[in-house]
């Protein structure tokens, strides 16, 4: 249909540049290529944006700069499915001069397996879980109940992927909305989702506290029942 150009399905590899698809016009319901989200490892949504036409590293960098405009606001690590591409682009366009003082771009553990093992830049700088001790904030040692040590990811690097798969359920209605309705609907959904995530965390904290109190351990930490337990490999000792 003239008002709704056919979508040519393309799969964009996460560590390769995607060609920009040229359409007759961009006024149809399928106008936006995607909605991007930024969320914390706990699932709280920090920001979102619509990316017209393609999800290019340059647009990702612009989005990150908008959400984290000052040095103090920037996190130590940002997980991106195509972190190595974003890092390459940032080095080329000098954005890295600003980011390098505070932040590392790493690939989330879900997509990292599909990145090229021969890509030295990716392996060296974007590995989400290096087990050589170079990133003690990303990889921690934990112990099984029987005392055996194992490496564990300190954070859930797949939070955005989990959010995206939940949002995917609304795709068919979102892509038929006017821009105003799309913005309102998505923003409202993410707002309520975040409220739900925070409520869930509060409940979990209260449960952990009670459990620790009952067992006489009052350090407030819970070693077990970690939803984000993500084993990497066992440690030979």
Residues that bind Zn ion (CB under 5 A): 15, 84, 115, 122
Are 155 and 39 within 8 A, CB to CB?
A: no
Q: Which is nearer to Zn ion, 83 or 95 (CB)?
A: 83
Give the nearest distance from C-beta 61 to Zn ion in angstroms. 16
Give the nearest distance from C-beta 125 to Zn ion in angstroms. 9
Strand pairing partners for 52? Answer: 32
Are 54 and 20 within 8 A, CB to CB?
A: yes
Strand pairing partners for 105? Answer: 78
Q: Which is nearer to Zn ion, 122 or 190 (CB)?
A: 122
Give the nearest distance from C-beta 84 to Zn ion in angstroms. 3
How are beta strands 104-106 and 77-79 bridged, if at all? parallel
Q: Which is nearer to Zn ion, 82 or 153 (CB)?
A: 82
What is the phi-psi region of residue 79: left when phi exceeds 0, alpha when psi lies from -120 to 50, beta otherwise?
A: beta
Q: Which is nearer to Zn ion, 104 or 174 (CB)?
A: 104
Give the nearest distance from C-beta 107 to Zn ion in angstroms. 6
């Amino acid at each position: 249909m003239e008002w709704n150009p056919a979508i040519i399905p393309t799969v964009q590899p996460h560590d390769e540049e995607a060609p920009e698809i040229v359409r007759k016009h961009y006024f149809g319901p399928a106008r936006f290529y995607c909605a991007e989200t930024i969320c914390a490892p706990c699932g709280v949504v920090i920001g979102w944006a619509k990316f017209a036409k393609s999800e290019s590293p340059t647009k990702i960098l612009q989005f990150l700069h908008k959400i984290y405009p000052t040095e103090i606001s920037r996190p130590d690590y940002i997980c991106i499915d195509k972190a190595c591409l974003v890092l390459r682009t940032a080095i080329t366009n000098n954005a890295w001069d600003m980011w390098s003082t505070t932040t590392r771009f790493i690939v989330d553990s879900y997509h990292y397996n599909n990145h090229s093992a021969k890509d030295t830049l990716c392996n060296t700088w974007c590995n989400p879980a290096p087990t050589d001790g170079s990133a003690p904030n990303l990889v921690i040692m934990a112990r099984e109940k029987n005392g055996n040590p194992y490496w564990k990811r300190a954070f859930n690097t797949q939070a955005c992927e989990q959010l995206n798969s939940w949002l995917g359920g609304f795709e068919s209605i979102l892509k038929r909305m006017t821009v105003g309705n799309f913005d309102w609907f998505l923003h409202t959904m993410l707002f309520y989702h975040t409220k739900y995530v925070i409520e869930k965390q509060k409940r979990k904290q209260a449960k952990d506290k009670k459990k620790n109190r009952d067992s006489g351990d009052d350090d407030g930490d819970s070693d077990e029942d970690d939803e984000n337990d993500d084993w990497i490999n066992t440690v030979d000792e």
